[in-house]
Chain A
């Protein structure tokens, strides 16, 4: 059929792993909106869910780092992290290798992406799945955009990658959902963990929800590092979703900085036209 759903959400490990330490009111409001994202996702009746993630050295390392990679396995597993630390039990997650192959074949006409027949999920995918497909019964196709180990793909390319992903989805008979996950401004895994630049986040979200390509691709990595931390490099996943929904705008379901989660917690959908 085609792309039937698009959204974004945060994936920080604290969202599950340090849940008890968050202020209950804001935490529960965030969880409720993740629940709403799940309800909207389910209402779209997808056959498969593509998760565009910014993985954190669960599969890819600087010995052979792809800028873009798409999973092509029958199943995946995660989390790689200690189960108690993340508060998510290890699961086998179904994939759809045959659909992956068709998507990859379609995309290779536009973009040089890598593929992987093995893929272990880290918190970047497991935290979203914990809320969106808690029964782990929907086939998942992981996509990675390297946001951790510079040199990184330019933002214009991340947007174009989304366009190519959309073309590939629209050429398939299946109903496909797309969720991008990443931080906006944050300084995760540093002594500054918990610092969040809310005004920067809100400006970015305004541009994202308007799907304003010109301003979205205008950030330089130097500016992002300065204003949004190294975690801000993960805006690439948002840009991919924006590219996949070019011409459509979005709806913000939730945004609030939750310092113990180390990120401005975000839930949004993008219209699919």
Chain B
């Protein structure tokens, strides 16, 4: 688990047009520079917002990433819900602090 580096990559991608250019040109070369597990790598390569949410990516980083991917609002919200259904509660980070998974 290297949630820190997943978030770092997405943070840099969200804010830096040069990183985005590299991401668009070929994700594998960019992803090689970060310490990612195979699951994390696949989730980012495939833009799997639901799984990234369950992994514990901070929602603010993930929301900007979903916008960068061009996901409409409802698709993005549904992706997080589907992620929890498929993969279970958020595993780490701020959102795992809610034990019941709901407010």
Please report A residues at the B interface, Cβ cutoff 8 Å: 13-14, 17-18, 56-59, 61-63, 80-82, 85-86, 120, 122, 148-150, 187-193, 195, 225-226, 229-230
Please report B residues at the A interface, Cβ cutoff 8 Å: 4, 7-8, 11, 14-15, 53, 58-64, 67-68, 70, 73, 77, 80-81, 84, 94-95, 97-98, 102-103
Q: How far is the CB of B37 from chain A (nearest CB, A)?
A: 18
Interface of B: prevailing SS = helix
Are A189 and B63 in touch, CB under 8 angstroms? Answer: yes
Assembly CA distance A57 to B63 (angstroms)? 11
Assembly CA distance A85 to B64 (angstroms)? 9
* 14 residue pairs A–B, Cβ–Cβ below 8 Å: A56-B61, A56-B63, A56-B64, A59-B15, A61-B8, A62-B8, A81-B14, A82-B67, A86-B67, A122-B64, A148-B58, A189-B59, A189-B62, A191-B84
Which residues of chain A come closer than 8 Å to B8, judged between CB atoms? Answer: 61-63
Are A191 and B11 in touch, CB under 8 angstroms? Answer: no
Q: How far is the CB of B64 from chain A (nearest CB, A)?
A: 6
- Contact flag A80-B15 (CB < 8 Å), given A187-B103, A225-B98, A230-B94: yes
Q: How far is the CB of A153 from chain B (nearest CB, A)?
A: 16
Assembly CA distance A14 to B68 (angstroms)? 16
Q: Please name the residue on chain B nearest to A63 by beta carbon.
A: B8
Assembly CA distance A83 to B70 (angstroms)? 11
Q: Please name the residue on chain B nearest to A85 by beta carbon.
A: B67
- Contact flag A57-B64 (CB < 8 Å), given A63-B8, A225-B98, A230-B94: yes
